[in-house]
Amino acid sequence: MTSLSIGQLAEQAGVAIDTVRYYERNDLLTPAGRLASGYRRYGTTELKRLRFIRRAKALGFSLDDIRALLALSDERDVAEVKRAAQRKLADIELRIAELERIRGGLHTLIAACPGHGRAEACPILNALTQEESA
Amino acid sequence: MTSLSIGQLAEQAGVAIDTVRYYERNDLLTPAGRLASGYRRYGTTELKRLRFIRRAKALGFSLDDIRALLALSDERDVAEVKRAAQRKLADIELRIAELERIRGGLHTLIAACPGHGRAEACPILNALTQEESA
DNA sequence: CTGCACCCTGGATCCAGGTCCAGAGTCAAG
DNA sequence: CTTGACTCTGGACCTGGATCCAGGGTGCAG
């Protein structure tokens, strides 16, 4: 039989036990049942669900996002799932653009800095000290 | 005379008053002096320093990083400032690469999803439900 | 001198996503 | 039966970077 303890579930999904209980508190994952002792029991459904959560997190979804995704996948609403993925993609692209802006700024400063000599000649310090230019 | 209250300083640097006091508690910015009443007073040195902090933050430096940068710029250690900027650049590039990896994954899934029909045909749900491949 | 905007302190709260703990109960191998 | 590994609960704590609050004091224009 494929009944798992919380420790086995956690190990097979690659998360910490405390994380499983945390997800339960936050309505992301409910045990299939409990033993008379109160011990949680999980089946393959829960294992898949937990792995889904882990992968979605790796794709940059927040737990709120994931709760919504899980509800949608329960409803099998493919169109809405696709739209959610598109929104997340747009969000990721914004974050990339912002980091690229920062990278450009740093790159320029580093390239222009001789790396020795007077502080006044260091464009990094100057850039950080300079007045606004819009 | 160029003596500023905390409110004037905050406004001219574009941060909140609470943020100025927060920076003080965290050893980033000390008032030039105090009135008999205890009111903080700031000069142009502090205004420049606060603007430095704001810009460095916009470049992705943490407050810990910034504390170190400020110490270095006080010591006028240009070589070390350059190295710190290079480390931060490497860090930003790592973050960009990670986001690009995520973007690639999402992009592939979205492109392959018809956006309608059976849940089984949705590669987004499938990808999140699939077993590991690596 | 009144009124209102401003400032003071210390501490609480927030966000996300967990992590850790104490004290008690349970399961299973030997 | 013993022992050690596992699990239970509820709640405290963590990071980073603020933000907000209560209850009081101050500065200054009219």
* ipTM for this prediction: 0.79
pLDDT greater at residue A73 or residue A28: A28
Judged against a pLDDT cut of 60, whether residue A68 lies above it is answered with yes
- How far apart, in whole angstroms, are the C-alpha atoms of residue A113 and residue A88? 38
pLDDT greater at residue A7 or residue A110: A7
**CATH class, range B1-59:** mainly alpha
Q: Which residues of chain B have a CB within 8 Å of the CB of A95?
A: 99
Q: Report chain A's mean pLDDT, rounded to a whole number.
A: 88
pLDDT greater at residue B67 or residue A58: B67
CB contact under 8 A, A99 and B103: no
How many angstroms separate the CA of residue A134 from the nearest CA in chain B?
Answer: 13
**Region for residue B48 given its phi and psi (left: phi exceeds 0; alpha: psi -120 to 50; beta: otherwise):** alpha
Mutation to test the A interface, candidates B45, B50, B78, most A Cβ within 10 Å: B78
- Determine the straight-line distance between the first and last CA of chain B, rounded to whole angstroms: 67
Judged against a pLDDT cut of 90, whether residue B30 lies above it is answered with yes
- How far apart, in whole angstroms, are the C-alpha atoms of residue A109 and residue A113? 6
Please state whether strand D lies within 7 Å of residue B17 at its CB atom.
no
Please state whether strand C lies within 7 Å of residue A1 at its CB atom.
no
DSSP label at residue B42: B
C-alpha dist (Å) from residue B39 to B21, B32, B42, B45, B56: 12, 11, 10, 18, 27
Nearest by CB: A60 against B102, B107, B114: B102
C-alpha dist (Å) from residue B41 to A55, A126, A128, B13: 52, 25, 23, 15
Instruction: Give strand pairing partners of B42.
Output: B4
Query: CB count, 10 Å around CB of B117?
Result: 12
Please state whether strand C lies within 7 Å of residue A5 at its CB atom.
no
pLDDT at A13: 95
* Interface A-B: count of C-beta contacts within 8 A: 128
CA of B78 to C1' of D24 (A): 47
Please state whether strand C lies within 7 Å of residue A57 at its CB atom.
yes
pLDDT greater at residue B76 or residue B16: B16
- How far apart, in whole angstroms, are the C-alpha atoms of residue B126 and residue A125? 50
CB contact under 8 A, B128 and A52: yes
Nearest by CB: B79 against A82, A96, A116: A116
CB contact under 8 A, A79 and B55: no
Radius of gyration of chain A (CA): 24
pLDDT at A105: 86
Question: Comparing A63-67, A97-101, B119-123, which segment has the lowest mean pLDDT?
Answer: B119-123
Question: Comparing A30-39, B43-52, B54-63, B123-132, which segment has the lowest mean pLDDT?
Answer: B123-132
Scanning the structure block, which residue is given the tokens 């493919």? A78
CATH classification of A1-57, choosing from 3.10.310.50, 1.10.1660.10, 3.40.50.2020, 3.10.20.90?
A: 1.10.1660.10
- pLDDT tens digits along A16-67: 999 999 999 999 999 999 999 999 999 999 999 999 999 889 888 899 999 9
Domain segments of chain A as ranges: 1-57, 77-134
- Element containing residue B34 per DSSP (H, E): strand B33-34
| Closest C-alpha among A33, A29, A53 to residue A41 | A33
Share of chain B above pLDDT 90, in %: 49
pLDDT at A63: 95
The CB-side HSE value for B24 (13 A sphere, CA atoms) comes to: 16
A33's CB contacts (< 8 A; 6+ apart) are: A40, A41
